Structure formats: structure tokens, C-alpha cells
Structure 1
Amino acid sequence: MVSDLLDNGIIRESDSPYASPILLVKKKNGEQRMCVDYRALNAKTIKDRFPLPHVDDFLDKLKGCRYFTSLDLASGYHQIQLEESSIPKTAFITPDGHFEYLRVPFGLCNAPAVFQRTINKVLGNLRYGKALAYMDDILLPSADFHSGLANLRLVFQSLRDAGLTLRLSKCQYFMEKVEYLGHEISSEGVQPGRRKTECVDRFPEPTDVRSVRQFLGLAGYFRKYIKDFAIIARPLTNLTKKDVSFAWGEDQHTAFQSLKTKLTSRPLLAIYDPELKTEVHTDASKVGIGGILLQAPPNGMFRPVMYYSRQTTKEEQRYHSYELETMAMVYTLKAFRIYLMGIQFKVVTDCNAIRTTLTKRDLVPRIGRWWLAIQEYKFDVEYRAGHKMSHADALSRNPRT
């Protein structure tokens, strides 16, 4: 391992006063990978606050796209040269001697920010729709083959000018369906990626709080795909609370299996389009609130774009049903804010009192504050009877009822 890094000019011998230890980590193929333990160095490092992109921001830019090209940069961080003053700080020791990195190593706390800043500079204005880059994963979406080919030439030229190389074995060109950052993308919409859902399917039943948190972290990455996620997960999230002893029972087993089943079915969501007719459906119960963002093309059926749900607190569970329904609407609009600002949309609810609130003058303080919080939106309210709102109703209620 060390000899390969030396031969490729990634490390050199060192006489630095720094000396981080190494660890050997087994890869999926059974081979060993050398990792440097930089925890002590990271603790003393001034953090680089350059932001990483938000995955949903990328997904929102894919409307109307039919072809997708996925590029992967070879060796990631190792393509970026370190400043001379930083090189001694990366020094590490092995049985073969004392070495230091000439290029950015894995494990440094600022490596992701440095890499993202670099790739943003390399791509420049191409980042605004033509090339979406998250670290070393670059996605080129296009509506047709010719525009996609033109964009690919521009990206290749930018990478060549910067001296960056690709790992050809991981690149895919002009695919109608591609997996990117854990999501499977096509012209039909987005859904959880197959590799991620296989990880969910193989996840063993938790035996302690740590494994519960691990599962919730994995499943929670895809919560926008799952109706009533927060309510289904309630028996599991309760186990992670402070001063709660671990006790795995029927409720926890049911919640665990339900989340696995829903995720492995790989639900498909539409890609948001600000030009389409938009509705927000909301509902509330004592145990939770929820909502759905839906859109429909002209003369087409409404499709879900995103789901939202959360549990109610003990205090909120004492609210009147009208207050809960209003709270569900307010929190759902806030959750979908980036999609709803500046467009006209419709809120659909099974609480007729919300519709009449629009014309009321005297509101109780809590309701009044909530309505003030959403006055920046442009929407109408439509009442629909409860039996016509079962899709939203499920978001706010225990899945076993």
C-alpha cells in the first residue's frame, strides 16, 4: 500500500514532528485499505465552512430531462495537491517508516469542503443546470442527446484544463435511468436507489440503541418517499430518547418491518415543476401531523412530489382538533416552502374550519400567530370530506389503525 502511494507521487518520506497512526480497514471485496487516524489533528484544525450541496436541490433541477450521464473522478481527494505548509501536518507512521501526503488524504476534516470548492471552481457556470457536482460524483442531465453531448464536451474540457481525470469504469453515458447519490433518477421521477434499499433490506433487527439510531439514519435519508414516516418510526425514535431503557417489543418490530417494506418497494416520486398545477394536502391527529405536495400536468392526474410528517409533542396532543389541523397546514407549508414561494397553489383539508378562518377577524392568539406565519404564501383552501382524504389521513395516524 505504502509503496503504491510512493510510486504514484501521493506521499513521500517525512521527518515531520507530526505522526498520526494508521488503521487497516477491510473493503467490500475483502482487500485491506490503509486509513490514517487524523482525529488528534482534526481536533486542532480550524474548520473550513464551505457548504456541500443539498441533494434535493439537485433533484429539483431534473424536470424535463430524459438522458443522464454520470461521471466519477478517479481517486477523489488525491487529485488535489496540498500546500507545502500543510504537508508536514499529514505525516503518519507505519512499520515501514515515516511518511507525509503531497495530496489531500482521506480523513482530514476539511477535505470535503476543499474538494467541493475545487470542483465548483473547475465547473464554473456549468454547475447551474448542465453539470451537478457533489464531491467526485458529477451528473449531466439533458432533455435530448445533442444538448447532452454538447454539455459533456464542455465538462470534459473543464476537467482536462484542471488536470482532473475520471474513473472510466464508474462512468455511465446517456442513460435513461441512473443511480445518483442514493437515488434512482429517470424521466418518470425519482425513487430510492436499489443499492440503498438492499442495505435497508439486509439491516438486522436492532439489539441496542446504537443500532436503532443507525437504522433510523439509513431509513431517514429517504423519509420524503414514505407516507407517515414519523408516525411509523415513533416506537423506534422513542427508544433513542434520554433515560429510556432499551426494550424491543411488538410495536418496535412492527415499525421496523413496516419501514423496511415501504422502502424496499422503492416508491416513485414526481420531479417538481413550478409550472404545473400544485396542491398541498394536510391532515392531523393526536399522534402526528402530515402533508403531501402533489402536482399534475395539464389534463393529467396528481402525483406525489414529497411527503412530510412529524410526531406531535405531549403539549400539542392536548390541542383542539381545529388547532391540530391548522398546525398541520402551517408546518407542511413551511416544510415545502422552497417549492411554494411565489406560486399559486391550493391547500386541501378535511377541516372545514380552516377554510372559514380565511374570513374571520377575531382569532385566538395561537391560531393568529400561525396564520401570520403563512401570509406570504398565495393559496386557496378547499374542504374535502374525510373519506376523500385517506391518503393524507394516513400521514398523521398510527399505521395500525
Structure 2
Amino acid sequence: MTMKDEIKRQVEQMLKDNIIEHSNSQFASPVVLVKKKDGTMRFAIDYRKLNAITIKQVYHLPIINEIREEVAGKKIFTSFDFKSGFHQLPMNPEHKERTAFSCWMGLFQFIKVPFGLCGAPTTFMRAMNELKKYISASFLIYIDDVILSSENEIEHLNDIEQFLNVISNFGMRLKLEKCEFGLAEIKYLGFFISENGIRPDPKDLECINKIKPPNNLHELRAFLGAVNYFRKFIPSCAKILGPLYELTKDNKFKTSTEWNEEEWNSFNEIKEKLKSPPVLAPPNPKESYIIETDASLKGIGAVLIQNKHPVAYYSRTLKDTEKRYHINELEALAISQALKEFFNLYNRYRHNNN
């Protein structure tokens, strides 16, 4: 199927589903087709010019790490995926003409919220938070990714029934093939979550381990960025990566064929660490925490521990001024930075327990 055929198919389907309508607008944004993981094409509009002149909405989006930490430790999980979630919300009639797009079939505008508008994620999140007012079950939302967690099967079945009844009353639809029900471990927002805690997806780690030594600055930064995504699972991550980060500074880059032993050790050691990262334990508000810190001229690091299990790791390299600190000052710096880094986690659960 050609791109022209795909656009025709999706436009006709959206007309049939009352997602779009014919338009006489003076606005016109171009169509783009984005390939999804399953091989199908997502119909989207390039709203960059419209977004540039749009007043941005201010609305709190939850912190992804906090969502994962809050649901980890429960015994049973279900995730829900809304079917084209944005398209289930109506557009403000006064603003529909601004969503107009042009293609070889003519000019159309959206009746429902389209993908690509800068305000779409926050609008959908606001709507989902309105739903929460009618649901007592323990569930968390990040835009259109919903996870429900419970302590036992009976509670979980009741929670699922309540959630489905509420979204049905609001006319919301789910994409059943992307929902997962009653699992002891579930992948949510990129990580696996279970009663035991949080762990990375082995497939993601395998991809990093397959990365070849970088031969240009772009490749090096891409490698460091990929590893950095899992830094909370790696003890002394910044210290290990220090020699490679040095190569990103002005005029210091060199290809892997020019690396010294320290740089090769950095590259190989971080890959080795990612082969078997620890499962981060779920925070328990009824238990106390221990923070262990480490400091040297190569950097500072810390681990938040509960019941002898790591909850989170933290590390960073030293700033130029900090490299002149006495070792006692570095130890104090490590403690101070660890308390700041872990504050939201241990303080949030401490207050929830009071």
C-alpha cells in the first residue's frame, strides 16, 4: 500500500468515525505518517507552526519514577490502554478550524483532539484525573497509560470492575489487545514491576550491550544517554563512566581505536554491570532507610537501602571546584547530595505513613 493509499484509508475511516470533518479553515497543516512498533502507520499532523503560536497549558504531569515506585510491591497488576485516547476527547468547537490539515483529498479539521497538538497530552491527563474522582480503586495514570495494582485477587477483580464501569459511563473505549490483566509482573513505562520491585527490560539492556565502540562524538553521546537511562540501577555509574564523559568535553574526543586502558575499562565495565543489574526493592513506608555514600576524586555515589536491599542508586562526577575539596569535604558532599537526591522518595513515603 502506498502512502497515498494509506492516507486515503485513514481519512475515510476518521470521517466515518466522526473524528474529522470537511473544513473551510484558513489554517492548513501538513500530514505525516509515522510507523508504529507493530508496523502499522499512525496518521499525524505536523503542527509545529501552530504549536509555536499556541499558549501552552500549565498542568502537572506525574513523575514517571514516582509512579513506578508507588505501584511496585503490590501483588497483582493490570494495565489499560485507551483506543486512540486523544480521539476520545472532543475539540472546543471554536478551535476546530485551527486543527485543519490538507492532503490530496481536500481540507479537513478535527472534531476530536488530534495527536500532535502541544496541549493534547495535558488535556488528556486532566480528563483522566477527572475520572479518578469517581474511582476508589488504586490506579495511577501517565497520560493514556493506566496501571491498576492490588494486594489480592478479590480486591483486584473489584477494582477492575469499578474502573471499567466508570470509563464506560464516560464513553471511553479501550484497546483490548494492548490491555494486560491480573499479572504478577507487568511492564509499565519501560520497566518491569512486581511484588519484588522494579527491574529493567532485558531486551533494552541487550541492545546497549550490542552497541559497538563509538567512532564519533554523536555515537558516544548516544551510548552515554542510553546507559544514563538505567543509572539508578548501577552502583557508581558516574564514576565508571567518568573517562568516557571526559571525551565529550571540548577537543577531547578520540575514536575508540585511540582509547587508553582506562577508557576501554569504562566502556567494558558499564556493559558488564548492565548484564545483571539489581532489582530495586519497592519502598516500604513501615520500614526505616539506610543511606550509604562513597566519595573520591573520581566522583561521589550513594545507595538508598531498605531491609538490606537497594531501593535506588545515585552517582555523579565532580565539578572542577569540587576536585580541590579535602576528602572530608567530599564525604560531606556525598551525604548532602544523597539526601537531596533521595528526599522525594523517603520523605513522600514517610508522610504517607503518618
Q: Which category describes the TM-score, using the shorter chain as reference length?
A: 0.7 to 0.9
Structure with the larger RCO, 1 or 2 (CA within 8 Å, 6+ apart) = 2
Contact 1:203/1:215 (<8 A) preserved: yes
Say if 2:279 is the partner of 1:268.
Answer: yes
Distance 1:79 1:171 in 2: 17
Superimposed CA distance per residue, residues 323-367 of structure 1 (whole angstroms, 9 cap, x where no aligned partner):
1111111111111112444999xxxxxxxxxxxxxxxxxxxxxxx
Contact 1:123/1:158 (<8 A) preserved: no
Give the C-alpha shift of residue 189 in structure 1. Answer: 1.1
Give the C-alpha shift of residue 39 in structure 1. Answer: 0.7
Distance 2:269 2:84 in 1: 38
The residue aligned with 2:138 is 130
Residues 10 and 136 of structure 1, relative CA distance in 2, 3 Å threshold: same
Secondary structure of 1:281 counterpart: strand
Residues 156 and 31 of structure 1, relative CA distance in 2, 3 Å threshold: closer
Among candidates 6, 27, 32, match of residue 15 of structure 2: 6
Secondary structure of 2:205 counterpart: helix
What amino acid sits opposite 2:336 in the alignment?
V
Superimposed CA distance per residue, residues 46-96 of structure 1 (whole angstroms, 9 cap, x where no aligned partner):
111212111222223235411111111111211111111121111111122
Residues 41 and 287 of structure 1, relative CA distance in 2, 3 Å threshold: same
Distance 2:148 2:272 in 1: 32
The residue aligned with 1:329 is 335
Contact 2:234/2:277 (<8 A) preserved: no
Instruction: Identify unmatched segments of 5+ residues in structure 2.
Output: 1-9
What amino acid sits opposite 2:47 in the alignment?
Y
Distance 1:204 1:119 in 2: 42
Secondary structure of 2:130 counterpart: helix
The residue aligned with 1:281 is 292
The residue aligned with 1:71 is 80
The residue aligned with 1:386 is none
The residue aligned with 1:25 is 34
Identity of aligned residues (%): 38
What amino acid sits opposite 2:254 in the alignment?
A
The residue aligned with 1:391 is none
Give the C-alpha shift of residue 118 in structure 1. Answer: 0.8
Residue correspondences, number: 337
Say if 2:306 is the partner of 1:295.
Answer: yes
Contact 1:272/1:295 (<8 A) preserved: yes
Among candidates 190, 193, 197, match of residue 182 of structure 1: 190
What amino acid sits opposite 2:255 in the alignment?
W
Distance 2:226 2:90 in 1: 33
What amino acid sits opposite 1:271 in the alignment?
P
Secondary structure of 1:336 counterpart: helix
Give matches, 1:225-374, under 5 Å: 225-241=233-249, 243-244=250-251, 246-249=253-256, 250=259, 254-296=265-307, 302-341=308-347
What amino acid sits opposite 1:276 in the alignment?
E
Contact 1:42/1:109 (<8 A) preserved: yes
Instruction: Identify unmatched segments of 5+ residues in structure 1.
Output: 297-301, 345-401
Secondary structure of 2:328 counterpart: helix
RMSD: 2.3
TM-score, length-scaled by structure 1: 0.78
Distance 1:279 1:207 in 2: 41
